[in-house]
Structure 1
Amino acid sequence: MPRRSRGRHSTDPTRPSQSGAASVSLFGSEGSVTGGGGSAEAALKAEAATMRLVWRRGVVRLVLVSAIAWAMLVLLALAFHLWSCNSSVAFLSALCKKDSKVLNVLDSMGLSSKPLHRCQIPVADDPNAVAIPKRTPNTIVKKLSYITVDKQDKDPSPLFGGRQSWKQREESFKLNSTMKVHCGFMKNSGADMVSIDVKYIQKCKFVVASGIFDGYDIPHQPSNISRRSQKLFCFLMVVDEVSLDFIEKNTTVKIDSAGGKWVGIWRLIIVHRLPFDEPRRNGKIPKILTHRLFPQAWYSIWIDGKMELIVDPLLILERYLWRGKYTFAVAVHKHHRSIYEEGDAIKRRKRYARPLVDLQMKMYYYEGMEPWSPKKKIPSDVPEGAVLIREHTTMTDLFSCLWFNEVNLFTPRDQISFGYVVHRLGDALKFFMFPNCEYNSLFILHRHTREHSSKVEWAKTIDEIVKKGLKESRGGLGLWTPYPADLSSVELPAVKRTSPAG
């Protein structure tokens, strides 16, 4: 009987063995696994790429959100800082770092809420106790009159400042007991007032004057004004027709029985036929030529239209004029002492055409105006021109005329020409330059309703001014009249900025 083999299978060469089948099947399976693996690998790569993209987008979003959150936090901290600096709460105000770089930068841009440097003004305690002294006698210049017609001017609509020649300009600085000079208000040249206003101002011996042109502000009511000052002073707000229309639309204007217009304590004085095409020049008329606009005035205090007076005007006259026996008072500039530093700041801030500012300063330097130094008798050549305090003597009035003539002939930046006129008159004008911190304590400063800007301020070259038609037609003509000397070799003195905000 044949034996059975255990665990063995008979093999048939004509049919494949199970192992061969298994092998083929395994091979086929390997082929399937290999092909499927390629698809899976591609899918994994695609998925990884998608994930990387998602991660990248997520990181970008995270960075952006973090940056926005950080910026919001910084802005919030800055807002709190500025708010604390202006807070009336003592604890919050104490948190303010008043010399911080942030406030200095914003201050330099004219955007700052940086607290003004204020100090207590040593004024008298009671306006009712102030004794008004006798008028200052006229000594050097005893009689002053004004040129109102230029013989060489054949224009039926003459220039407001006249056509002052270089020779007339030079002669006007030579002091005599009797003088006749250009001082605006040439015959039929504009800046007219109606008869109602002319009649009203004839009674005004003590004047607080201000002005708004081209609708940049509304009148701000003074505070802390005594009853005595309310009766003694005329509060006169000089406006043009555009500003009057703006004021009537934005505040209450009352009309008295005589037809005069009032905004609170301010009597509006409307000026018609503005003589200049540059609003800043028009604003210099009531500011500098106060004695010409209000010829009956003995004393005047000028404040810019954006200011709110907070000190009794009688106390101001006592502090800045009568106590020291001065006839003119103005504050020292916040940052600058030299007119060349002021001119440099005007150019950097684009407050007037750079080449024209340079030309005016070259004339002044050629004519002997040195940069300010401690050796000079006055604390600064540059004033804060927004507050002017005057007794209207012939010498003070002459100074105002000469100052206006410079503003009329050259750029309207009166802080440059102020120091030059003081330099030319020497010790003849007895005036007081008081500390800037006291100046800041006289008023509350409000922002303009809008900022003024003219195209000429951005001009970089003379050619640009000419080609673009930016040249003024009725002011600054001295900048376009051949100067009687060669200024091409004049180099302006180097300017060293004395303040990071200046």
Structure 2
Amino acid sequence: MDNDGHPSVSLRASRRPDRLNNNFEIKDGGDGFFDSDKSSSDYSIKIIWKRGFVRLLLVGGILWMLLILSVLLFHIWTCQSSLVFLSAICNKDSTVFQMLHTMGLVTPPHRCSIPLANDPEKVVIPEKKSPSKFVQSLSYFEEDDINTNGSESSPLFGGHQSWKQREESFKLKSTMKVHCGFIQNGGAEMSHKDKQYVKKCKFVVASGIFDGYDTPHQPSNISPRSKKLFCFLMVVDEVSLKFIKQNVSVKEDNDGGEWVGIWRIILLKNPPYDEPRRNGKVPKILTHRLFPQALYSIWIDGKMELIVDPLLMLERYLWRGKHTFAIAQHKHHRNIYEEADSNKRRKRYARPLIDHQMKIYRYEGLDPWTPLKQTKSDVPEGAIIIREHTPLNNLFNCLWFNEVNLFTPRDQLSFGFVVYRLKNNFKFFMFPNCEYNSIFILHPHTREHSSKIEWVKSLNEFKGNNSGLKESRGGLGLWSTYPADLTSVVLPRVERTSKAG
């Protein structure tokens, strides 16, 4: 051990003179001692400058990163704050917020203040309609061609739309004719007195109750100007009207119109579908067809109590940003395939039929939502829809309804698909979900909705033409032979993005 240690000591000792000699040689070089000393001094100054510049860059970079981090932390703090003032500072429509939300660093609040105008009396209503883009004239099929698909059945409310007609309907032209419900003798008939009443309605707040699942909830915070300007129309079927009369006071005016508070009851006789949820999509999506004189409409689901003045809503969501269609972003999902998976897990409709619809969408090119898409999300909260009745908006509503008519009544599954098929020519404002939750008070249904079809797990349960699980007037696209082989279509893998979703 002792012998091993000595060589290392002697080696270090032997190296010291070498270093001294080297230093001496450097100093001794050149024209003289003073010149070499001057050169060494210049060299040292250069080293100091270089080191200082590098340090300056490092310090500047660190300060810059700290500044950016501070701004992001302040942004997160304001967006998460429960104080109205701080919450208002946060721009929830910004790219930064969307990036932070995607990274999971910020969670949008359940409710937030809506930047409404201060006084409904001072809101300026546009004098002219928004210019028509892409579509100038839109008409509808009113008679059903029952031989289109080799069927001899009676006329359907949505018509026997062929796959070829469906494909053509997505191609925008100046003049178009499409299926849009209300086929003659297909059901959903309105009485003459109600038709006469809605002719005067230019501004509409619409809602609907089917199969007695809700009772009308009276809106609050409605200004005198809005009470004069808007028609508040509650669309019901005969089952719901009977239920309402048994539980709520219904008044009749001199013209035979029936009222529950501010709501004018609009009865649709002969419901067009077997499924109440599908019947509810008629006034929700086809508002422009039920009320053809309307220039603007606000749809709110029957289980909701509106607590925001409708004129202020039009100013906030349409006129301020020069939009014509506004709908809220879904709280949990942006990807249609995620929403479909959630519907299956929650038993909102038959699982194999949802998969069949998604396979058709996948075959037709619909990719899962990513931040690279031009829309904030492919999945909306469809319980509130704010729109101007322009030709393009009316066309979108028709195409959206046709998907609901052909496939499942889960309209959130088809909204983003129709946007995709129109190649982003349909522009809309998707507002934050926290504002959506500040527009209404949610009331529970009078009873739980239940349908046998929601619990089906296999297509084998649908075998046989007399299967009681098949809807006879809706969802026929799920049973019509699709003009392509879907067996090789693989649905994108999805992950559960939230506990609630």
Smaller-chain TM-score bracket: 0.7 to 0.9
State the one-letter code of the partner of 1:492: L
Q: Distance in 2 between matches of 1:155 and 1:471?
A: 18
State the one-letter code of the partner of 2:136: K
Q: Which residue of 1 aligns with 2:469?
A: 470
Distance change (3 Å), C-alpha of 1:116 and 1:245: farther
Q: Distance in 2 between matches of 1:426 and 1:481?
A: 26
Q: Distance in 2 between matches of 1:162 and 1:283?
A: 17
1:131 counterpart = 2:130: no
Aligned partner of 1:346 among 332, 343, 347: 343
Aligned partner of 2:165 among 163, 168, 172: 168
Aligned partner of 2:265 among 240, 265, 268: 268
Spell out the pairing of 1:280-299 with structure 2 (5 A cutoff).
Answer: 280-299=277-296
How does the TM-score come out when normalised to structure 1?
Answer: 0.76
State the one-letter code of the partner of 1:405: N
Decide which structure has the larger Cα Rg and report it.
1
Aligned partner of 1:230 among 221, 227, 249: 227
Q: Distance in 2 between matches of 1:264 and 1:487?
A: 51
Q: Which residue of 1 aligns with 2:134?
A: 140
1:463 Cα deviation from its structure 2 partner: 1.1
Q: Which residue of 2 aligns with 1:484?
A: 483
1:235-272 deviation line (CA, Å, top 9, x unaligned): 00000110000000101000001010000000000010
Aligned partner of 2:143 among 145, 149, 161: 149
State the one-letter code of the partner of 1:387: I
Q: Which residue of 2 aligns with 1:302?
A: 299
1:161-212 deviation line (CA, Å, top 9, x unaligned): 0001010000000000000000000011110011111110000000000000
1:500 Cα deviation from its structure 2 partner: 1.6
Contact 1:354–1:460 at 8 Å: present in 2 too? yes
Contact 1:456–1:465 at 8 Å: present in 2 too? no
State the one-letter code of the partner of 2:332: H
1:314-337 deviation line (CA, Å, top 9, x unaligned): 000000001111110000001001
Q: Distance in 2 between matches of 1:463 and 1:307?
A: 38
Please give the secondary structure, in 2, of the residue aligned with 1:417.
helix
State the one-letter code of the partner of 1:250: N
Unaligned 5+ residue runs, structure 1? 1-89, 91-114
1:356 Cα deviation from its structure 2 partner: 0.2
How does the TM-score come out when normalised to structure 2?
Answer: 0.76
Please give the secondary structure, in 1, of the residue aligned with 2:280.
helix
1:116 Cα deviation from its structure 2 partner: 7.7
1:469 Cα deviation from its structure 2 partner: 2.4
State the one-letter code of the partner of 1:119: C
Distance change (3 Å), C-alpha of 1:191 and 1:177: same
1:155 Cα deviation from its structure 2 partner: 5.3
Please give the secondary structure, in 1, of the residue aligned with 2:269.
coil
State the one-letter code of the partner of 1:470: L
Q: Which moved more, 1:460-469 or 1:232-241?
A: 460-469
Give every structure 1 segment of 4 or more consecutive aligned residues whose post-TM-superposition deviation is greater than 4 Å: 153-156
Contact 2:145–2:159 at 8 Å: present in 1 too? no
Q: Which residue of 2 aligns with 1:211?
A: 208
Please give the secondary structure, in 2, of the residue aligned with 1:471.
coil
Q: Which residue of 2 aligns with 1:319?
A: 316
Q: Distance in 2 between matches of 1:334 and 1:297?
A: 30
Q: Which residue of 2 aligns with 1:121?
A: 114
Q: Distance in 2 between matches of 1:124 and 1:374?
A: 31
1:302 Cα deviation from its structure 2 partner: 0.1
Q: Distance in 2 between matches of 1:322 and 1:415?
A: 25
Aligned partner of 1:459 among 456, 461, 466: 456
State the one-letter code of the partner of 1:436: N
1:139 Cα deviation from its structure 2 partner: 2.5
Distance change (3 Å), C-alpha of 1:501 and 1:156: closer
Unaligned 5+ residue runs, structure 2? 1-82, 84-107
Contact 2:123–2:315 at 8 Å: present in 1 too? yes
Q: Distance in 1 between matches of 2:307 and 2:297?
A: 16
Spell out the pairing of 1:427-438 with structure 2 (5 A cutoff).
Answer: 427-438=424-435
Aligned partner of 1:385 among 382, 385, 388: 382
1:156 Cα deviation from its structure 2 partner: 7.4
Q: Which residue of 2 aligns with 1:182?
A: 179
Q: Which residue of 2 aligns with 1:440?
A: 437
Distance change (3 Å), C-alpha of 1:116 and 1:219: farther
Q: Distance in 1 between matches of 2:315 and 2:424?
A: 22
Give % identity. Answer: 72
Contact 2:146–2:154 at 8 Å: present in 1 too? no
Q: Distance in 2 between matches of 1:439 and 1:446?
A: 15
Please give the secondary structure, in 2, of the residue aligned with 1:271.
strand
Q: Distance in 1 between matches of 2:375 and 2:204?
A: 27
Contact 1:210–1:303 at 8 Å: present in 2 too? yes
Q: Which residue of 2 aligns with 1:61?
A: none
Please give the secondary structure, in 1, of the residue aligned with 2:189.
coil
Q: Which residue of 1 aligns with 2:400?
A: 403
State the one-letter code of the partner of 2:125: I
Q: RMSD of aligned C-alpha atoms?
A: 1.4
Contact 2:144–2:156 at 8 Å: present in 1 too? no
1:135 Cα deviation from its structure 2 partner: 1.2
1:498 counterpart = 2:497: yes
Q: Which moved more, 1:210-219 or 1:464-473?
A: 464-473
